[in-house]
Each structure stands twice: as C-alpha cells, then as structure tokens.
Structure 1
Amino acid sequence: MSPVALPPEIEDLRLRTREFIRGTVMPAEPRPGAVVPGELLEDLRTAAKAAGVFAPHAPREYGGQGVPLEHWSPIFQEAGYSLIGPSALNCMAPDEGNMHMLHLIGSEEQKRRYLAPLIAGEARSCFGMTEPHPGAGSDPAALRSSAAKVDGGWLINGHKRFTSGANNAAFCIAMVRTEAVDGAPAGATMLLVDMDAPGVRIGEQLHTMDRAIGGGHPHLHFDDVFVPDGAVLGAPGEGFRYAQVRLGPARLTHCMRWLGLARRSLDIALDRTNRREIFGSVMNELGLAQEMIAQSVIDIETSDAIITKTAALLETDAKAGSALSSVAKAHTSEAVYRVIDRSLQLCGGDGVTDRLPLASYLNEVRAFRIYDGSNETHKWAIARRASARRRREAEHGAPDLADVSFPVSDAGFPAEAKA
C-alpha cells in the first residue's frame, strides 16, 4: 500500500496497525474456516488497546483513535489484511456502522448507555432492517415491522431476518414503520431495543457461507416489545434519512476491509509465483500468470481510488458521498472477488485446500455482492441517477449529443477536417 499524502499522525497509526496485524494478529489466526474463540478475541482486543490501535474510527473521548472518515481506508485496509483483524481492532460490522450513526445522531444519554460500551468493546450490537419476503430487503420501502405510539413510548411488532451479530448483541437498532404522531411524519423510525427486553426473541439461525461477522445472522422477532420515548434514535419518521448516515459509510468500510484481504491474497499468490517453477520457468515469468497478476493490481488500485474519493466526499457532501458509495460497493465487491479468485487459481491445488486461506476468503467476500444492497440494486440506482443528471443538464441548456449531425464531405470526412 502506498498512501498518498497522509497526515503524519495517520501514517504513524497505519504503520503501527500494520505491525500489530502482522506481528500479533496473524500469528493468532485460527485454521481457515474455523470460528474465532471468544477468549482469543478478547486477548487480541486487550493487546490492541495497549498498542494504541483499538477502534481507529471512534471518537477519542470514548477511547477510540479519532481518525476522520476521509482517512479510514488506509487503516481499515491494514486491519482487513487479516480476516480477524477488524474484530480485534473493534472496527468490524455491524458495530462499526452503529458506532458511527450513534455518534452523529444519538442523544447524550444514548451515547452514554449504548455508544460508550460499544466502542470500549464491552458490548455488541446488531441492526434490524432486513425482513422475510415480502418485507424489506434490497427495497427498504417494503418495510413491514411496525411500532405503535403508546403512553410513554412505543410498542414494536415485527419479524427481522439476517440480523447480523444478533446472537451476541446487547442491543438492536431496529428499523420500523410508524404512523404520523405529534407532528412527526409517517415513515420509518429507528428504535434502540435492549435484546433482553420482554418480547424480543431470537429465532431461526441462518447458516451462511461467511464467518467473519461474529454473532450469526438469525431471524429476530419483536412481539409487543415496549421501548420508552427515549429509545427513538433521531426523530420519528426520519429513519430512512438517518439510514443513509449509516449505510453510505458502512458499505464503504466493507470495501476497505475486503480490499485489505484482497491485498493479502495477491501477496500469497506473488509469494507462490515468485518461487514456483513450471515448464522450465518461474511462474512470474509466464505471460498467463503475469496477466492475472496485472489484472489483480488494476482491480486493487481502481478500488482504492474510488474508495478514497468516496470517503473524502462523505465528509463534505453526505448525499453525494452516499450515492458514490453505491459505485464503490458494486465495483469493489466484484473486484475483490476477482483478485482472490485469481490468487487461488495461481496457487493451484493448494489454493482449494485449507493449507492456504484463499478458499475461505472467497466464501467471505462472495456474500458482499448481496449484503448492504445487492449489486444489481445498486447498479439500477446508479443508472437512474446518471439518467436523471443528464436530464437536468438538458433542462439547463446542455446540447443533445445524440442528435447532432455533422456536415460530411464527399470523401466521408467532416467538412471542417477536410478543409
């Protein structure tokens, strides 16, 4: 990684994070595909705090490193070089996204009760958005879970699925539909729900191909769950707007972490091709191997560039940054998969075994093309925004470039060019 013009304190943290991941975390990694023991994770988190690299994205007043969003990527990529690195540094989903949103939107009491222990690593969280069909999935407007206003609070009823981290969570940020009340509009509302509240029930466990997010992806049921008025995150009816505060950066940080894993995958392949001989040549001298390596470098660098641009934009224009994060997510999720797949191919038979971690990496990153909005949904939104932009430009006098005729000479060249 060759960071461009990072402030000295950020570059120092990046280098210390690299040293911690490669010197402390990687030697402690379990066998590919194995679940990380809770005791090991706690030990690594204690060590990360001692090394001053814990919670790089979180505010300093809560024990984090206070890195601004525009500089998260180089740090998160270093963390993502190990599959368990982000968990060790407490910058893994869904907690990282929930921390960011709570810091920006939460009340002081909500920060004290939920944000502080989350950043300290003393609590876990989950985000209740996805529902069984025909409920909310890639289309959030299909939200069916609801909360009714009652005396002193809200009564929640609903059914969520794919609630990542719920098995270990102390609380859930639940997205529910609410009616207009007390001047607030009808719409979606975010509510903070303690997982031990009466009526909260973890249901069927979903066994997915990825393992990096601890706490599973279970169904979650809310049966007449009461929460007080103070449980509203932000304001009633504004949940979809607040969701963009979370989802734009959260899908981007997934890109950052997985790009770190893609870099490691390519390094594994390069170590292999630099020393393995086949048909009388070292693999790195063979054109087919060079093409795969070059394409992987291109995928990594283009992903890095768009992540960096999006992160900077999110700091200055959240709406535009959230829109560009769709481009970053769709591109990076596919690019990362290609890099790991090529790396596995370059490692031959060992690549598909647990002698190397590449096969398990493929399982981890494949799901990213679906979660945080399927790539097809993002591409649909990207295309609609592009078409709308061009329509607005036409309304302000931009010429119709598809309806311009050039005078052509007898020789077939534009007359101006011939002259």
Structure 2
Amino acid sequence: MDFTVSPRIAELRERVRAFVADEILPLESDTTSYNEFENIRMDLRNQIRAKARAAGLWAPQMPQARGGLGLPMAEQAIFYEEANRSIFGPVCFNCAAPDDGNMRCLEMAASEEQKARWLQPIVDGAVNSSFVMTEPHPGGGSDPSMIATRAERHGNRWKVHGRKWFISGAAVASHFILIARTDPNPEEKRRQLTAFLFHRDQPGWRIVRRIGNMGPDEHGGVCELEFDGLEIDDSDRLMEIGDGLRLTQIRLGPARLTHCMRWLGLSKRCMEIAQDYVSTRTGFGIRLAERESVQLTLGEVAHAIQIGRLLVMHAAWKLDQGDRARKEVSSAKIHVADTLFKAVDTAIQLNGARGYSTDTILEWIYRYARAAKLVDGASEVHKMVLARFYGKEGSDYWQWG
C-alpha cells in the first residue's frame, strides 16, 4: 500500500472539511434543523444537497458519467471521514446508508436499462432507496440462507409473499432492492435466492409499522414490511435467477466498510469535543487536560482511531485491487464499531453532565453508536468469519499477498 494522498484528493478533503464547517455544522445546534426522528429535516437536507452538488462534492462513490466523483474506495475513505465530522454530513453529500450501498450495488450489478430507471434517480437525489433482506425469525438475517420470503414465477411475472423487518429507509424510499427465495431446493444453498427491483407505488405490499428504537433514525427509519402478492416483471429481476446471495455479497461487503469510514469521522468529532472541553475546564487548580488520567484516556482513543483508519485503508486498498477483502472488512467492522462507542463514551465522561445533556451532540452519537455493533452483521458474526478463515488458512491468514 502507498499511503500518499494525491494533491487532488488533499484539496478535495479540504473542500469537504470547509463545506461541513461552513454549511452543515451550524445546523446541529439549531433545534429547528431536526425532524421528529432526530435527523436533519428532509427539506433542509435538500437545500444543503443542492449546495453540495453545486460545489462539486456530490456522490463520491459514483462514476463521473453519472454525476458523481468516481473515487476509488481508498479515496472514498478520506472523503467519508471528513463528511461525517457532522452527524448530518454524509446524507448531504449523498453518501449515507442505505442509498450509498444501494447505488454502489446497482452500478455493479444492474443492466444499463435498469441503471437508467432505478439507479440514476438515486444518484440525482430525486428518490431514496432501501435494501429489503432481513426477516423476523425463523427467516434470514445475518444468515441469508434462512430467507423465507418467496417469489414464485408466473410466466413473465413474479409474485412475492413474505415478511421483512428492520428495513432501513423504507418509510421514505421509492426504489427497493428485494432478496427473495426462488428455489426451495435445500441442496443448492448458494442458488436459492434472487434479487428484484420494485417501486413503492406497486400494489401487493405494505409497511406494517415503523419500528421504534433508541434512535436517532436514518431517514425512513427501520420498518416491517409485508408482501401479499406483489407482482414484479421479470425485466426488474436483478442479475440472474439464483444470483441473490451473490448480490448480497456485492452489496454488503463495501457497505460495511463505508460504514466504518463514516464512523471514524464521528469518532474524531467526539475527540474534538472532548479535547476542546478538557483544554479549558479547570478543577482543583488544574486544567483537566493536564491530568495524567485524562491524557491516558484520550491517548487510548486516539490510538484506537488510528488503528481503525489503517484497517479501513487496508480493506479499501484490497477492494480497489479487485479482492473481496472479506477478512479485512470484517476486522475493520469489528474494531471501528467498538472504537466509535469507546470514543463517544469517553467524550461524554470527560464532559460530565454537559456530555450527557443535549448541549452537545454526544448523547445523539452515543445512541447512534450502539447500533454500529449490530448493523450489517453483528460483531460476533464477523468474529466467526475471521475464525473460519484462520481455521482454513492457519499462518497464511496474515500473508500480505
């Protein structure tokens, strides 16, 4: 790996940082900026998005031909980290979940006709999207082979029946990617699933409820969906019949890593808030920043953040080389999720009651951070992945090639 940052990306990083500081950070302290789910109001989001697009800071993961910046994964890491210096940053640059992963997935897997219909409106910011996979027990979650929602073929149409839940962004999404079972053969586990595209206005499905949680919520929250005969034309099938598992792998691997990129930005923001406070707050005749215990605590978090950045960059570099980087992504996901929680917990502790209050955004980040150990595969699942690789590879697990 070469850690040299090109002058072009260094300049882009500074522009993102300046835009966040000038246009987005001031919104966090204004209560009128938030909707009822503690995220940026959609109309205000759209105003800032227009400014970001005009500034040439739009859709960093998408090709330039589609109106994006065309950044490879390693350069996206630099952009995303700066974008999430604000809790509102990624969504204003059109690089927030779930649209971020859905756009990347469609760009890689959809036909040109499908891209024109289903992808480009997401890139343009005209619609939101959602990825529909997770199911209630006994259906599929971290193990997609358990997916029970079924799609049955009737001529050139598919009829879908089943139930999904914790579907991010569903309440505001117009474009959906659905994973359903099309082959009940238990002997063909890797060919049982197929991916489909559907629009919110199609009949035969409904949102049962928006599931309440610790929050704050992404736009569209997490929802429970019921399918009772949704009909999908075969032209809206994504990839080949039986390629659903492959599609989930295309979708989820890079998306896990871009989560980590964003979380590192939030972790650094927590450190900024903590450092600013301990540098000025005095007690018993000494600034908090001069106390060894405080220095050790901040040093430990800074150490963890830097390890996370190196893990993310290594995984991003491997993805840019065409590798699936499964070990590297899982390692980054485990570590950075823990680091985000550690960073915000430390910042709250050092800020005392101020950190626990709504006078800072730390309590917002604290509630948000708890989900990091769960989304896109619980930490325990990723540790199992690493254990399987080690069991298979032995000492070769750590080879550089």
TM-score band by shorter chain is over 0.9
Deviation at 1:186, TM superposition (A): 4.0
Are 1:250 and 2:268 matched, yes or no? no
Deviation at 1:392, TM superposition (A): 8.1
RMSD: 1.9
Q: Which residue of 1 aligns with 2:331?
A: 327
Q: Which residue of 1 aligns with 2:298?
A: 293
Q: Aligned to 2:139, what secondary structure does the other structure show?
A: coil
Deviation at 1:332, TM superposition (A): 0.6
Deviation at 1:236, TM superposition (A): 1.1
CA distance in 2, matches of 1:186, 1:353: 50
Are 1:115 and 2:114 matched, yes or no? no
Are 1:370 and 2:368 matched, yes or no? no
Q: Which residue of 2 aligns with 1:268?
A: 273
Deviation at 1:307, TM superposition (A): 0.3
Q: Which residue of 1 aligns with 2:150?
A: 146
Are 1:106 and 2:106 matched, yes or no? no
CA distance in 1, matches of 2:191, 2:280: 63
Query: Would the alpha carbon gap of residues 353 and 5 (structure 1) be closer, same or farther in structure 2, given more than 3 Å must change?
Result: same
Match of residue 302, structure 1, among 287, 307, 323: 307
Unaligned runs of 5+ in 1: 394-419
Are 1:19 and 2:18 matched, yes or no? yes
Q: Aligned to 2:226, what secondary structure does the other structure show?
A: strand
Mean Cα displacement is larger for which, 83-92 or 55-64?
Answer: 55-64
CA distance in 2, matches of 1:75, 1:392: 33
The structure with the larger Rg is: 1
Are 1:379 and 2:378 matched, yes or no? no
Deviation at 1:357, TM superposition (A): 0.8
Deviation digits for residues 211-233 of structure 1 (CA, Å, limit 9, x no counterpart): 25211101011111111111111
Give the number of aligned pairs: 388
Deviation at 1:210, TM superposition (A): 2.6
Q: Which residue of 1 aligns with 2:51?
A: 47
Kindly report structure 1 stretches of 4+ aligned residues shifted beyond 2 Å. Answer: 29-35
Letter in 1 for 2:353: G
Deviation at 1:256, TM superposition (A): 0.7
Mean Cα displacement is larger for which, 206-215 or 375-384?
Answer: 206-215
Following superposition of structure 1 onto structure 2, how do residues 217-256 of structure 1 map, counting pairs within 5 Å? 217-256=222-261
Deviation digits for residues 77-131 of structure 1 (CA, Å, limit 9, x no counterpart): 1111111100111100000000001001100011000111101100100001110
Letter in 2 for 1:73: A
Q: Which residue of 2 aligns with 1:283?
A: 288
CA distance in 2, matches of 1:211, 1:128: 21
Deviation digits for residues 303-341 of structure 1 (CA, Å, limit 9, x no counterpart): 00000000011122433x133211110111001110111
Deviation at 1:70, TM superposition (A): 2.0
Are 1:187 and 2:192 matched, yes or no? yes
CA distance in 1, matches of 2:135, 2:231: 20
Superposition TM-score, scaled by structure 2 size: 0.93
Superposition TM-score, scaled by structure 1 size: 0.89
Following superposition of structure 1 onto structure 2, how do residues 384-395 of structure 1 map, counting pairs within 5 Å? 384-390=388-394
Unaligned runs of 5+ in 2: none
- Identity between Structure 1 and Structure 2 (%): 35
Deviation digits for residues 324-369 of structure 1 (CA, Å, limit 9, x no counterpart): 2111101110011101110111111101000111011010111010
Q: Which residue of 2 aligns with 1:349?
A: 353
Q: Which residue of 2 aligns with 1:215?
A: 220
Contact 1:244 1:322 in 2 (8 A): no
Contact 1:299 1:336 in 2 (8 A): no
Letter in 1 for 2:231: F
Deviation at 1:380, TM superposition (A): 1.2
Contact 2:176 2:197 in 1 (8 A): yes
Q: Which residue of 1 aligns with 2:316?
A: 311
Letter in 1 for 2:200: M
Match of residue 197, structure 1, among 192, 195, 202: 202
CA distance in 1, matches of 2:243, 2:395: 29
Q: Aligned to 2:178, what secondary structure does the other structure show?
A: strand
Contact 1:299 1:335 in 2 (8 A): yes
